[in-house]
A and B are shown apart, each in its own frame.
Chain A
Amino acid sequence: MSAVLDMIGGLLMVGGAAFLALGGLGLVRMPDTWTRIQAGTKATTLGTLLTLAGIALIEPGWALKLALIVLFLMFTNPLSSQVLARAAHRAGLKPAPQTRADALADDEGRAAE
């Protein structure tokens, strides 16, 4: 039983680490700030959660403490990425040329009228 849990936990851990490396690759390759934000926050959040789940399977005694970190990450990561995206938008950064829509600019234009 423990060996099976170890194996599943190891697989989850490897998958999470791969997600984190690919998120870093997205951070390097993506064309503008907003696509980089979605590569750098979503992929790494999933990678961290998978890694922590794998560790919780390997060391069942830590599961509750790890759940606390997972909860904290799930609350704070979307918040910080949203704050950062709004700050970048307000700072006037230009999106990549193939961007089709900018809902925040539309909203602010409507509010200004």
Chain B
Amino acid sequence: MITAALVFAFGCYGLGLLFNLWRIVNGPNSADRILALDTMVINIIALLILYGILRGTAVYYEVSMLVAMVGFVSTVAYSRFLLRGDVIE
């Protein structure tokens, strides 16, 4: 039961990541690409924890926490770059 739910969830996550990748490859401008990267990071946070459930280990929890923090900071930095043209003033 849990295994079937996990397999379905992995399929859905792969589909969502493929859609995000499509938007990164031919997004018309850089704001769309930043948005697709941000969405990808959110997907990967949950995907890592699902993988931890599958393997029965809690190591991936820390990894996904780090990915969440780095993803947030990088999205804000990209947006600042779009806004100002440089990140560090």
Interface residues of A (CB under 8 A from B): 6-7, 9-11, 13-14, 16-18, 20-21, 23-25, 27-28, 33, 36-37, 40-41, 44-45, 47-48, 51-52, 55, 58-59, 62, 65-66, 68-69, 72-73, 76-77, 79-81, 83-84, 86-88, 90-91, 93
The bracket for how many chain B residues form the interface is 35 or more
**B3-61 with Cβ < 8 A to chain A:** 4-6, 8-13, 15-20, 22-23, 29, 31-32, 34-36, 38-39, 42-43, 45-46, 49-50, 53, 58, 61
Query: Are B64 and A88 touching (Cβ within 8 A)?
Result: no
The answer to whether residues A84 and B38 also contact, given A17-B8, A27-B20, A52-B46 and a CB cut-off of 8 A, is: yes
